[in-house]
A and B are shown apart, each in its own frame.
Chain A
Amino acid sequence: MRYLLIMLCASVPLYAFSLEDETENREFVLDCKERVSVETEFFSSLSKKAIEVDRVLCESLLDVNPAVTSRESITDREQQAVLSKFSDQAEQDARLIARNVNIRKIEVPFKYLSEKIAEGDIYSKQLPSFSLDLVEVGGEDIYKLHFSNTVKTATFRFADNKKCQVKYSKNCDKLFDEYGKVVNQYKSSYVKLTADETIKQLDALSLQWDRYLGQARSQTTLELLLTTWIEGSHFKQGRLVGPPKRQWSVLHPSLVYEYFEAGQSGDEYKMGVAVEWFGVNWWDKNTSPVGIPFGVSLSSSYNSWANYSNVGHGLMLHFYNSYSIGWSNRDGEDSFYVSIDLLKAVTDKKKTFEMYKSKMGDIK
């Protein structure tokens, strides 16, 4: 048994393989007060208001933007006030364009905008973007103006596109492109800061997956399918998730060193094969019920011992995702074995086995 203990205590280099490139930790920096406004020929006043709204929303994201140190306390009411003024100005500027080109239902998208931005607190704002789309309706091309709602739209005809030339020296679609760039500034910081917060959360999930793929026990395709099926509720939460807490084993082969005192074949230690028929492994110490990565499997070991069955049945226990010990019963006699996951036994592990083998020889 001492050899078993030696092998158990031996330090086996973990063969961790990361399947993803290392997570980028590029810091996203955004200064609420240093936002650069877009160049505009016709909407400079609107642009100032958009930048002001952008700053207010940016600084209000207290839990999301820790970079802001000197904060003024901006109340929800103040936010609503600046948003409302901005929405009014956006509508006024669009109506000025509408003096040159016939825009149907110009009030509709702006009504939707003003209603939408008034809803929710700072952490649950829904901020629509301005869009100008060229769509075909009933065989005719029309331009559709809207704020992230393709039903609440204002429209003008493709044939009228040049009507803005007289006053603005550019076609109406290009004018609205400029208008859109100016308007959409109001949500720029909010979009970027909140998306970055989500990216940080996804980075954390990515790291968990890297740990799973690098540290947990190797799994065959069959085991991946089984684990996915048994841990189905974890994957069907309707949200992006990290790896499951448990891995399930089925028909998992391992190379083992088996000790069988009753073997009487001249050498009671032999290399053999163990097969886990079914088992479970808590791969992460943080979620393991015993505080370390731990697993247990129903297993059989295969070996040729004189006067005894080639197959014994019993249990395998796994520790730290790399070490396994097992017990088998053959015709009423006990055997014990240790295993390094055979599927992890690539070249380095083969060398490790040779090392164990020679050490065992030396000690004998």
Chain B
Amino acid sequence: MSDTPVVILVHGMGKHLPDEITKDFVVSINSNLNQISGHEDDNISDLVKIVEINYDAFFDKVRLKMAEKAKPVAERLDAISQITGVSSWGAGLIQKLTSFESNFNDDKLFYTHWLDVIFYTTLLGAKVRVDVAKKIAETIRDHAPENKIHIVAHSLGTAVVHDTLSQLFRGDFIANDDIPDLDLVTHRLKSVWMVANVSRLVNDFTDISNPYNSTVRPSIEGCMDYFRNVRHELDPFTRISQFDPKNDNNWVPRDFYDSGYKNIETSALTKMNPHDFSEYIRNPKVSLPLLRQFLRIVPEKQNSDEIFDNFLGSSLAGAFEGLKESFKEIKITDTSSLESFLKIGKEFSKVVKDFRG
């Protein structure tokens, strides 16, 4: 019976083909793992079992189905409008809305990224949570308690994971009741890594579960031993409604905060996108604690310094200051609405594109 740790990966917004986040994770971790003395030829995919949860496939089907259905509707509405000459009583508005949905099969950023966020805030989010919960419960059934189970979620995936865990681990488990849940202790997760955590921001809109009051915390009232929150200093999505629990006995008791919680803030850039999953994981500030947590692999001090030096050497000189200046243009006035999230997303994409271009 193998005791290989199990890592559940949950992607963020945008198009995600099967295995995509797994590849990003493996390449990013290996870039540091292979610099650790004694692990030069190791591959993280041989050392942990990776389970990928892909909810984008469902959103994609909905998106394309809506477009497929709306397109002929839009065409017919247009034709009928011309024949009948009907333009009063909201017909124009209906035409616009239908035409909007008929473009859902477009590959534009709005349809592939931000629509995921909108979809998640609707009832489709409840369906996603059931699917994600099922996958987590299956992983626990098939691998626990022999294997420790960790979750790494990115961006919108942090909200999906947070909301799902808070409903799956309610804190009042009874094995033979009719509530589909798991126990905080018996089915406990080893660690949860929230990379570019937007769970508070999304909850401001959905009001599904407040991350400061849910069971997604590293204490006996929570469902995991360790909680790691990872954010990049320039990632605008983590600046609004930031997840930033204080060590003041409110979120978790102080001793649990000290032993179970860590906020990891990164600042270096190797790509011009501080929200990028690989960008986060590739940073040794993230991947070294992750290797310690999952596999108890820790480089010697000198080795660790070399890994950091190599990483900083590969980062883009001056990128931080340049990007910081550009992000100053993104004004965050309303910090608790879906609209502001979408607005920042739009402007953020523009800044990143301009920088790359």
Contacts and interface: CB of A to CB of B under 8 A. Distances in A.
Interface residues of B, number: 92
B123 A177 contact: no
Interface stretch (A162-170, A232-240, A283-291): A232-240
Contacts of B293: 133
Nearest to A250: B97
Nearest to B148: A131
Contacts of A38: 1, 146
Interface stretch (B45-53, B184-192, B237-245, B320-328): B184-192
A149 B220 contact: yes
B145 A63 contact: no
A19 interface: yes
Interface stretch (B15-23, B85-93, B272-280, B329-337): B85-93
Interface stretch (A2-10, A84-92, A296-304, A314-322): A296-304
Given A150-B260, A187-B186, A224-B122, A198 B181 contact: yes
B65 interface: yes
B68 interface: yes
Nearest to A196: B141
- SS of A interface (majority): mixed
Interface string B248-264: 00000101100110000
A122 B174 CA distance: 9
Contacts of B98: 220, 253
A344 B69 contact: yes
A190 interface: yes
A343 B225 CA distance: 48
A63 B175 contact: yes
Contacts, number: 250
A300 B84 CA distance: 14
A222 B97 contact: yes
A191 B144 contact: yes
A345 to B, nearest CB: 7
Contacts of B76: 255, 342
Nearest to B138: A199
B141 A150 contact: no
B265 to A, nearest CB: 17
A100 interface: no
B180 A202 contact: yes
B204 interface: no
A221 interface: yes
A321 to B, nearest CB: 15
A125 interface: yes
B137 A151 contact: no
Interface in B285-307: 292-293, 296, 298
Contacts of A129: 144-145, 188
A199 B141 contact: yes
B123 A243 contact: yes
B225 A191 contact: no
Contacts of A80: none
Contacts of A148: 185, 188, 225
A123 B172 CA distance: 11
B122 A228 contact: yes
Contacts of A198: 137, 168, 180-182
Interface in B129-166: 129-131, 133-134, 137-138, 140-142, 144-146, 148, 164, 166
Contacts of A17: 65
Contacts of A205: 130, 180
B89 A253 contact: no
B127 A126 contact: no
A150 B226 CA distance: 8
A47 B81 CA distance: 78
Contacts of B185: 116, 126-128, 148
Contacts of B27: none
A235 B175 contact: no
A197 interface: yes
A184 B146 contact: yes
A192 B62 CA distance: 33
A19 B145 contact: no
Contact of B186 (A20, A151, A190, A209): A190
A110 to B, nearest CB: 16
A76 interface: no
B209 interface: yes
Residue picked from A20, A181, A235, A253, most chain B C-beta under 10 Å: A253
Contacts of A188: 145-146
Contacts of A253: 73, 77, 94, 98
B129 to A, nearest CB: 6
B298 A150 contact: no
A203 B134 CA distance: 8
Nearest to A345: B72
A334 to B, nearest CB: 18
Contacts of B145: 129, 184, 187-188, 191
Contact of A303 (B84, B88, B186, B190): B84
A330 to B, nearest CB: 12
Given A150-B218, A196-B141, A202-B180, A123 B80 contact: no
Query: Which 8 residue pairs across A and B have the least CB separation, nearest first?
Result: A201-B180, A195-B141, A126-B185, A63-B176, A224-B122, A150-B259, A123-B175, A184-B145
Interface of B: 1, 3, 58, 61-62, 65-66, 68-70, 72-73, 76-77, 80-81, 83-86, 88-91, 93-94, 97-98, 101, 115, 118-119, 121-127, 129-131, 133-134, 137-138, 140-142, 144-146, 148, 164, 166-168, 170, 173-188, 190, 206-209, 218, 220, 225-226, 253, 255-256, 259-260, 292-293, 296, 298
15 contacts: A126-B184, A129-B144, A148-B188, A194-B182, A203-B134, A224-B122, A227-B123, A238-B209, A239-B170, A241-B130, A243-B123, A271-B80, A272-B80, A303-B84, A311-B88
